[in-house]
Structure 1
């Protein structure tokens, strides 16, 4: 197997992982939004965390769709471009997930 075909296989592997992880994280964000809404209604306090998680879910969806598009495209240059954008979107989403978790933890624990 030559270097170009190994690189293309590696690129497709990365896209598959981003696609599946992003799709799963959309579900996680939606689940946490539901749980957070229950906490908000019980405590009668509004948090910004559910809004952040909604934006987060949309960013994961963008990452998921871009990685799917990269998997479906036949042009190598387009594949690499879409993969880079999908990577960046996924990393941004992971960062926002961490920030959201911190804000939610801080807001719920402070009384």
Structure 2
């Protein structure tokens, strides 16, 4: 009696699964942060019209929302990429833009805080 080797169906490589998981997190977090930026812009506009105190925070947050949207689109594109190499490069770009967006959001928070003093 001879043993017959039956290969398993191919599963995604662990690195590709990790990249996909990271892209999903970037996608959901950046989409949520676009909404947060837009909400804060609306609140700042209300405060500016009632108190006549101007600030550049809404401009920073508008740029921030754009960065998060680009990060969101790139992470979605990375999830749709067929090549693992392409997925990795697009994911790295999405990750870098996401981190720049977080840094800009921190600067905007500092501007808002100091404008209210």
TM-score, with length taken from structure 2: 0.88
Q: In 2, Cα distance between the equivalents of 1:45 and 1:23? A: 30
Q: Aligned residue pairs: how many?
A: 107
Residue 7 in 1 paired to residue 15 in 2? yes
Measure the CA separation in 1 of the matches of 2:38 and 2:109.
Answer: 14
Q: Counterparts of 1:82 and 1:102 in 2: how far apart (Å)?
A: 31
Moved over 3 A (4+): none
Q: Residue 82 of structure 2 corresponds to which residue in structure 1?
A: 74
1:49 maps to what in 2?
57
Structure index of larger Rg = 2
CA distance in 1, matches of 2:44, 2:86: 39
CA RMSD of aligned residues (A): 1.3
